[in-house]
Amino acid sequence: MNIHTGKYKCTDCDRCCQNRANLAVHRRIHSGEKPFECTVCSKRFITSGSLVAHSRIHSGEKPYKCHMCEKVFSQSSGLQVHMRVHTGDKPYKCSLCNKRFSHSYSLKLHKRCVHSNIRLYDCPYCGKLFKTHDHLMRHVRIHTGAKPFSCRHCSERFTESTHLKTHLLKSHNEGTWLTCNICQKKFYYSSQLKNHLQRHKNIKPYACSECDKCFCTVYEVQRHQAVHTDYRQFCCGLCGKDYKRRVEVVKHFKRCLDKLQVSSV
């Protein structure tokens, strides 16, 4: 839409509207006025249409259905974003490595994890800093020993949802294996298969920001970048020893726990 077409021009920006009513609605962006209030949660909105769309969250109404699968959505914007799964559209491009994403949040997360050392989330137990909230939550479980993901078929519990899915496939044959059409190797996740196929093609889209090495996955470049710093973000919840890599602290934690159990006998 061309913001410069229309008879009525906003005095705060270059936006032009077709009539006075549209201009009045537009100016609420500048004034902060939100006259429409949700009766359930009291959240306020600029337009009545935005309030109607929001209200569907409370009512559970989902009128927007994907014509390619069975998923339904409460807002048209949700359906539009979902359709990228089917079309493969990735409108968001990283300006640093040219990798593309289907969601703006995925691009933001990618830049923070791969191209930045900004760490906004701190551990309440040891003060370690992390790039994402998910990374922090995974770390905190080292301190608490929490295993929030439980199997509905047996008594097994897991610290990661990915570990649970792997368990369901291997132990209970629940889920679908993904098979490489080149070597027939099986995988639990589409991301694993995608990374595996990149190895067949020798594609390495992730570059280290400190040297000229390239890698197939985000995890690999993050693991590699530890060689360029002395920062040790992973801490054993039992003895306080620090490690650069999560896999190292997990192995240490198990050994540390075994020693503690032996000494208590």
Q: If you search the block for the tokens 């090495």, which residue do you land on?
A: 213
Asked if the 176-229 domain carries CATH number 3.30.160.60, the reply is yes
CA distance 142 to 18: 58
Give me the pLDDT at residue 153, please: 94
CA distance 29 to 240: 50
Give me the pLDDT at residue 130, please: 85
Question: Angle CA(5)–CA(6)–CA(8) in degrees, nearest 5?
Answer: 135
What string of DSSP letters covers 215-253?
ESSHHHHHHHHGGG-----EE-TTT--EESSHHHHHHHH
Give me the pLDDT at residue 40, please: 87
As averages over each run of 10 residues, the pLDDT of the chain (265 residues) reads: 69 86 89 90 88 83 85 85 87 85 85 79 85 86 88 92 89 89 87 85 82 83 78 75 78 80 65
Pick the CATH number of 8-59 from 3.30.160.60, 3.40.50.720, 3.40.50.2300, 3.20.20.140: 3.30.160.60
Within 115-245, where are the H helices?
Answer: 133-144, 161-172, 190-201, 218-225
CB 15 within 8 A of CB 9: yes
Give me the pLDDT at residue 250, please: 80
3-state secondary structure of 61: coil
Give me the pLDDT at residue 168, please: 92
Give me the pLDDT at residue 263, please: 67
At 77-124, the pLDDT tens digits run 888 888 988 888 989 888 888 888 888 888 888 887 778 777 888 888
Domains in the chain: boundaries: 8-59, 176-229
At 173-191, the pLDDT tens digits run 888 888 999 999 888 888 7
3-state secondary structure of 48: helix
